[in-house]
Structure 1
Amino acid sequence: MTTRSLRLGPLPSSASTRISFLCPAALKAELDRYASMHAQTYGEAVDAATLIPHMLEAFMAGDRGFRKKARAK
C-alpha cells in the first residue's frame, strides 16, 4: 500500500505550450526521482518534463507575494 504524501497530486490534462530550459544535472536527477515517486504513488508513468509545469504552477499558487502583486494589477 502506497501512502499518498506527495505535494503534487494526480496531473490534470490541459493545453500546452512548449518551452525549454537548462538545469543542473543534480536538479535533473532530483526531478527524475520525484517523477519515479509520483508514478509509484499514483500508478501512472510520468516523466520529469511532464511534472515541471505542474510543479511551477503549484509553486506560484503558493507564493503569497506573487499572488498579492498579481491581484493588484
Structure 2
Amino acid sequence: MADLKLPRIPDRTPVKFTISILPDLHQAIVEYAVLYSETYGKEEPVTELIPAMLEAFLEGDRVFAKRRNGLMSG
C-alpha cells in the first residue's frame, strides 16, 4: 500500500446521545448561544453548539488528554 500524506479518515457517523439537564444549565446554554451569535454574527442551534462545547472541554482537560494519549499509545 502507498504511503499517503493523508491518513485514513476516521468514522464520522453521528451518534445520537440524549441527556436531561437542569433548567439553570439549559438557561446558561441558551444565553451562551445568544453571546455566540452576537460575537460571530451567526446563529447556531444549541444542538450544534453543545457537541463543540463538549469537544473543547475535553481537549482543554490536560489530565484527560494525557491519560487518553497514554491509553491510545499503549
Task: Name the larger-Rg structure.
Answer: 2
Unaligned runs of 5+ in 1: 1-13
Aligned partners of 1:57 and 1:38: how far apart in 2? 16
Map residues 17-32 of structure 1 onto 2, 5 A cutoff.
Answer: 17-32=15-30
TM-score with structure 1 setting the length: 0.73
Kindly indicate whether residue 16 of structure 2 is the aligned counterpart of residue 46 of structure 1: no
Aligned partners of 2:21 and 2:56: how far apart in 1? 19
Unaligned runs of 5+ in 2: 1-11
- Runs (4+) off by over 6 Å: none
TM-score with structure 2 setting the length: 0.72
Map residues 1-73 of structure 1 onto 2, 5 A cutoff.
Answer: 16-73=14-71
| Greater relative contact order (Cα < 8 A, sep 6+) | 1
